[in-house]
Structure 1
Amino acid sequence: MSATRLIASFIATGRLYGVGIGSTLIELQQAIDFNFVDVVDEDGESMRRDYGFIEFYLNLDQDWRVSGGSIELHRLAARSDTADRWRIAMQDHFPRYLTWDELYNEFVNLPNAPSLQNIDQGDFQEYRASETKVSVLVSNDHEERDEWLGHGDVWSVSLG
């Protein structure tokens, strides 16, 4: 699947690989088969599962439950090898750069795509789907793209 379609679906549904707020750690493990690092807080009540450019946040109740997550696309501009490994393991091709225009064009063609609120955050433009609790941060920087993101490139997509 193209990452653009996957991300557009994430915005529209609040679920990435079927994982969303309330999913269990077991469901997360079944959905994503890729190397990760778990970082547990001092109290042992919250954890971040880091896959390199994709992260999920979990809280401990009776078991670990997803409370949020993010796709940190800006990390791929400097580390395209991570995207290459992800493509082999998960069969999804994440580009080194993704413009908001490309993502938005895919998003608006989804059935029942929720409305987006546009919020100016200074260096970033935020597009938030309140229904699904997903936000997209887009670079508002007026720099041209080089080895780093430029104006109009998607920085991250976050759930929570």
Structure 2
Amino acid sequence: MNGIAFLASFLRTGRLHGIGIGSTLGEVDRAVRHRFVDVVDEQGESLRRDHGFVEFSFNPGEEWVMSGGSIELHRLASGPDMARGWARTMGVEFPRYVAWADVREELGRLPGAPELTVGDQGGFLEYRAAASGVSVIVVDDEEEERGYHAGHGDVWSVSLWAPVQAVSSGSG
């Protein structure tokens, strides 16, 4: 699968290789067969699994449970070997640079594409799909050129986040 179609699907569904918010560490291990480094905080209250340009965050409980994730596409500009390794193990081929226009075009072809809201992040734009819990950070500085980093109009990262749960208060 090509990386553009993969990202559009992720934006629509909030799922990466069938996993997402609430997936257990065991489910992630079965879905993602790529080398990684685990980083657990000193209190044992969070785990970050780093697969290079793809990272997942977990919260503890009876099992570690996914609380978020990100695809750090900007890392591919200076480390194209990461993309080749991911293609070999996961079957998804990412280009060195990912143009947001290409992802939006592909997303527009999918049935049930989510509505996106946009916000300014100081040199970046953030496109949020509340329905899927996915946000895309895009380089918005016209002077940024492609090189060892993403350039103007390129996707910097794509993140999965847990929706904020409404807190109900009891009446007395």
* Same structural fold, with TM-score higher than 0.5 when normalized by the shorter chain: yes
Match of 2:39 in 1: 39
Which residue of the partner structure matches residue 73 of structure 1? 73
Question: 1:81 deviation in Å?
Answer: 0.6
2:89 corresponds in structure 1 to 89
Q: Which amino acid aligns with 2:151?
A: G
Local SS of the residue matching 1:9 = helix
After superposition, what is the alpha-carbon deviation per residue over 1:80-138, rounded to whole angstroms, capped at 9, x for unaligned? 01111111111110111000000100111111011000111121011000111110000
Question: Equivalent residue of 1:57, what SS?
Answer: strand
8 Å CA contact 2:77–2:147 kept in 1: the answer is no
Counterpart AA for 1:158 = S
**Pair 1:57-2:54 in alignment:** no
The answer (yes or no) to whether the contact 2:55–2:69 under 8 Å persists in 1 is: yes
C-alpha displacement at 1:141, in angstroms? 1.4
Gaps of 5+ in 2: 162-172
- Could you tell me which residue of structure 2 aligns to residue 30 of structure 1? 30
Bigger drift between 102-111 and 145-154 goes to 145-154
More displaced, 44-53 or 137-146?
A: 137-146
Look up the SS of the partner of 1:55 in the other structure: strand
* Count of residue correspondences: 160
State the alpha-carbon separation in 2 of the partners of residues 146 and 60 from structure 1: 39
1:81 alignment partner AA: D
CA–CA distance in structure 2, aligned partners of residues 158 and 150 of structure 1: 19
CA deviation after TM superposition for structure 1 residue 144, in Å: 2.2
Which of these two proteins has the greater Rg computed from alpha carbons?
2
Match of 2:170? Answer: none
Equivalent position of 1:152 in the other structure: 153
Cα distance in structure 2, aligned partners of 1:95 and 1:14: 21
CA distance in 2, matches of 1:84, 1:133: 27
Q: Secondary structure at the match of 1:22?
A: coil
Q: Normalised by the size of structure 2, how large is the TM-score?
A: 0.91
Residue in 2 that maps onto 1:135: 135
Report the 3-state secondary structure (helix = DSSP H, G, I; strand = E; otherwise coil) of the residue aligned with 2:76. Answer: helix
Q: How does 1:105-120 map to 2 (within 5 A)?
A: 105-120=105-120
Which segments of 5 or more consecutive residues in structure 1 lack a partner in the other structure?
A: none
Alpha-carbon distance between aligned partners in 2 of 1:86 and 1:146, rounded to the nearest angstrom: 21
Judge conservation of contact 2:75–2:149 (CA < 8 Å) in 1.
no
**TM-score, length-normalised on structure 1?**
0.97
Code of the residue aligned with 1:32 in structure 2: it is V
Taking only the aligned residue pairs, the percentage that are identical comes to 55
Runs of 4+ aligned structure 1 residues displaced above 3 Å come to: none
Q: CA deviation at 1:73?
A: 0.1
* CA deviation string 1:129-158 (max 9, x = no partner): 011111000001112222321100000000
